[in-house]
Structure 1
Amino acid sequence: MANDASAAFDTLSPAVSKGSLADPFTPSADSSLWRKNFLLGAATASYQIEGAVDEDGRLPSIWDTFSATPGKVLAGDTGAVACDHYHRWESDIDMLASLGLEGYRLSIAWPRVMDAAGRPNRKGLDFYKRLLNRLKEKGITSFVTLYHWDLPQHLEDRGGWLNRDTAYRFADYTDLMSRELAGTVDAWATLNEPWCSAYLGYGNGHHAPGLANDRFATQAMHHLLLAHGLAIPVLRGNDPASQKGIVANIGRGTANSDSAADQRAAHLFEVQHNAWILDPLLKGEYPQDLFELWPGTEPLVLDGDTQTIAAPLDFLGINYYFRTNVASDGAHGFRDVPLEGVERTQMGWEVHPDGLRDLLTGFRSTYRNLPPIYITENGMASDDKVIDGHVDDTQRISFLKRHLAAVDQAIKAGVDVRGYFLWSLMDNFEWAFGYERRFGVVHVDYSTQKRTVKRSAELVAKFLKERKAKV
């Protein structure tokens, strides 16, 4: 196996490195990406693109509250308008189809489809029904995430994910959505990135609802995973033909030295970022090393919870962006030690495609019951600008090539990876970073809502067209 993930792809030509628009985006002839059944798509999330936060009965979410709080979001940005997808969804789906993308991962805004008493909001439901039916008409596979962080504010007012009852309210929400949308969804994901919801939302306060307590983080995580476990049998009962899974973000941790302390720090980093979620799902238990990091933070777990959480999955969604170099903090944990001279994105994240391959192959060894995997998010932010009607996002082109090559290497090593979703279809509200950071393969001018397809999207479309002709 090559150590450099770019080896499986044609390298960027000198012309492209200088900004030319002539670069091909073609995997090597033996790449797994040529398989007809390897799904290539793009992903979005409701609060990041929809806007229309006060329309058609939608209730406030924790992100409406958080982003309206001074100092919480860069430049005071909010998702009130975002990409105005709520009004422009038809043309956005047409754009998705015109690129030849085969899959679309979207999320449902919980506050848009139910009122505070748990009754359905028909206008909100109809929005998603129209959208999903349009995807079916276009022959695009739909992956629907039930929770991508926009918890109804009225539930947060009752304790949010610190309140066990929220897990049962999530099961009610799942029941409504899977009854209403049965037959229109190809794959359901219960949660997106519970690590972010629990740790960034309740552990360090970087995300909504903005609480900061390690004990809160572990309890919130338990209730999130319990919600997932309660939802899986509901989905199986209401929509048996669909796939059911969950989406986890994963992080690669590497040690700053060969010392035992630094090696242990890297291990604990991956325990906190990966095993905290995957062990309960796939082993039915929390990793005890987690509580070495956070002594005394064990969540309250009731009888039967671990069995509920470990419900069998049809697929596991994996989101990957970067690796973190760490050293021992001299106590129970780790501290970041940023490497110098490495490639970074607009987010400051290190570009490290080999980390994705290494994590995937590691999971295959660690979890005997590892389900089929979809890379449900992978992408990068860059300061993209439209010049003469074009966006030549050279770094993103290189980033995507190398990460797709890493996926190909993992497949050849025996990992069952069945698809890959670009993050994101279009530039959008990037949570606490507002609108400054652009992750899309389509540029959005927020003042006019004009969409401009970036060169990365053009090259992906070109490859998909070639693959369709070939297979």
Structure 2
Amino acid sequence: MTSTFPDGFLWGVATAGHQGEGGNDRSDMWTLEHTTPSLFVEPSGPACRHYDLWEDDLDLVADLGLNAFRFSVEWARIEPERGVVDAAALDHYEQVVDGCLARGLAPVVTFNHFASPHWFAASGSWLAPDAPALFADQCDRVMARFGDRIATAVTLNEPNLEQVLQAGGKLPPIAEQIKKEMLAAAARNAGVERYFASNVIPAEQQEAFQGAFTQAHRAAVAAIKARRADLPTGVSIAILDEVALPGGEERRDAKRAAVYDHWLTVAREDDFVGVQNYESAFHGPDGEVVPDGPRNGMGTLVEPASLARSVRYAHEVSGVPVLVTEHGMQTEDDAQRAAFVPQALDLLAAEAAAGTPVLGYLHWTLLDNFEWIFGYGPKLGLVEVDRTTFARTPKPSAYAYARAVAGYRPAVVG
């Protein structure tokens, strides 16, 4: 096939520390998983043991013919207590960076993928006045150690996720009550007045967190750029493909304004915007509807065009290039994923050919991992993980993705 993707296009997979590494027991996520009541259906525990098995996992990525690996550095491991830096954790992540480079994989580093230190959450989390400075310090220590060798920096992962979930009615009403009870219990257990976490935010705090995340993002960019001005840096956001059916234009535009446009405007000052897309939402005059057709594990329409249309909108509003930092499908039927991904990539290629600047595609995710409050039920990985032995078994979709990438790579690297 003919590719219009630019030289240096990133073809890879995306992962996150807390979801795959296991044993992240100094984090706010671990705390909330073990709080009663908990919105989490089960604790993360050993996850996929990626912290120990990372070399095997990088080999899997390289064997698929990919050239990029997105992972997060876990702040709770690096600074388990306020002001106490664990040099061994920095050593570990430096080894991962060097392991990527040794295998021809560009390291794409996320500086915060939801999980933060327990002490940070108990000190006001992102709403604390000193939160931007604390996060900037974390970014600086990471950059000082191995920032000279990474390819791309993502400051925050999906700071708009809670708005997306609330606007789309993705959680049952009881979830909001359990969330509040869980956070209150965590605060009592920690002996503090309040306890928050990045992806467990009460509805009435959404606006405050948006402002706080914005300050933290800008502080992080400044810290990263102070160490390396040339490093492409941006924020990644959750974004559905919002489709207006006849009469649904006003509802579509209101949804976009409520959950995406703030961050797409913020991204105008960055090098790129990260797009994380999994589904389309169809707006009629009376609300959202789900057209007839095959459904994914989220219950929404299987729509390969969703990614390309989301990328187009993100670029139109932000004016900066787009990096697809996550895209995939929740499904128990891997054949569905194996068919879906190449179709979505063909449409993304057409969007790039039409002039939308796209820097890379990072599939979510490498391994079937811990999917936050939903536990290990949802399956989004290209590789199955045995929950007892932790053996890795690539699925047919892994090879379907590899074949699709191979069809584009000659134009990419030529």
> Which TM class, normalised by the smaller chain length?
0.7 to 0.9
Contact 1:427-1:439 within 8 A present in 2 as well: yes
CA distance in 2, matches of 1:108, 1:269: 32
1:433 paired residue among 358, 365, 374: 374
Unaligned runs of 5+ in 1: 1-28, 283-311, 330-334, 385-392
- Aligned residue in 2 for 1:22: none
Q: Which amino acid aligns with 1:173?
A: Q
1:345 alignment partner AA? N
How far is 1:440 from its partner? 0.6
Aligned to 1:99: 64
Partner of 1:45: 16
Residue equivalent to 1:413: 354
Cα offsets for 1:240-297 (capped at 9, x unmatched): 3422111111122234541xxx422111111122103212332xxxxxxxxxxxxxxx
Q: What does 1:374-453 correspond to in 2, within 5 Å?
A: 374-383=323-332, 393-453=334-394
2:225 equivalent in structure 1: 236
Distance 2:201 2:230 in 1: 39
Query: Are 2:21 and 1:32 aligned?
Result: no
Aligned to 1:314: 271
> Is 1:213 aligned to 2:209, yes or no?
no
CA RMSD of superposed structures (Å): 2.5
1:383 aligned partner, one-letter code? E
| DSSP-derived class of the 2:11 partner | strand
Residue 42 (structure 2) pairs with residue 77 (structure 1):
yes
- Secondary structure (helix, strand or coil) at the match of 2:43 reads coil
In structure 1, what is the equivalent of residue 139 of structure 2?
174
SS at match of 1:377: strand
Query: Which residue matches 1:341?
Result: 292
Compare the two structures and name the one with the higher helix fraction: 2
Matched letter for residue 53 of structure 1: N
Instruction: Report the alpha carbon displacement of residue 107 of structure 1 after superposing the two structures with TM.
Output: 0.7
Aligned counterpart, 1:67: 33
CA distance in 1, matches of 2:210, 2:410: 45
Larger Rg, first or second structure (1 or 2):
1
Q: Distance in 2 between matches of 1:83 and 1:43?
A: 14
TM-score of the superposition, structure 1-length normalised?
0.76
**2:187 counterpart residue number:** none
**Equivalent in the alignment of 1:9:** none
Identify the residue that residue 362 of structure 1 maps to in structure 2.
Answer: 313
Query: TM-score scaled by structure 2?
Result: 0.86
Describe the superposition over 1:116-175 as per-residue Cα deviations: whole angstroms up to 9, x where unpaired. 222321111111011111111111101000010002121111221222321221111111
Aligned to 2:157: 192
Q: In structure 2, how many angstroms separate the alpha carbons of the residues matched to 1:428 and 1:118?
A: 31
Q: Residues 151 and 231 of structure 2 are in contact (CA less than 8 Å); yes or no, is this contact kept in structure 1?
A: yes
Bigger shift: residues 63-72 or 131-140: 63-72
Q: Any conservation in 1 of the 2:159–2:213 contact (CA below 8 Å)?
A: yes
Structure 1: how far apart are the matches of 2:209 and 2:373?
20
Query: What is the CA-CA distance between 1:36 and the residue it aligns to?
Result: 5.0
What secondary structure, in the 3-state scheme, does the structure 1 residue paired with 2:279 have? strand
| 1:279-298 matches, cutoff 5 A | 279-282=265-268
Alignment CA distance shift 1:356-1:458 (3 Å): closer
CA apart distance, 1:469: 6.2
Q: Match for 2:22: what amino acid?
A: G
Out of 106, 115, 129, the residue aligned to residue 141 of structure 1 is 106
CA distance in 2 between counterparts of 1:434 and 1:102 reads 29
Write the distance in 2 (CA, Å) between the matches of 1:349 and 1:433. 17
- Whether the 8 Å CA contact 1:373–1:417 is kept in 2: the answer is yes
Q: Distance in 2 between matches of 1:418 and 1:360?
A: 11
Q: Distance in 2 between matches of 1:366 and 1:124?
A: 38
Confirm or deny: 8 A CA contact 1:382 1:438 kept in the other structure.
yes
- 1:228 & 1:339 partners in 2: Cα distance? 35
Q: Which moved more, 1:453-462 or 1:119-128?
A: 453-462
SS in 2 for 1:194: coil
**Percent of pairs with identical residues:** 28
The answer on whether the counterparts of 2:341 and 2:401 sit within 8 Å (CA) in structure 1 is no
Preserved CA contact (<8 Å) 1:198 1:218: no
Cα distance, 1:378–1:462 mapped onto 2, change above 3 Å: same
In structure 2, C-alpha distance between the alignment counterparts of 1:465 and 1:199, rounded to whole Å: 34
- Total equivalences in the alignment: 386
Q: CA deviation at 1:72?
A: 3.8
* Residue number in structure 2 paired with 1:267: 253
- CA deviations over 1:322-346 (Å, ceiling 9, x no partner): 11223567xxxxx5x3324232211
Aligned to 1:159: 124
Say which SS state the counterpart of residue 182 (structure 1) adopts: helix
Is the 1:316–1:372 contact (alpha carbons within 8 Å) kept by the matching residues of 2?
Answer: yes
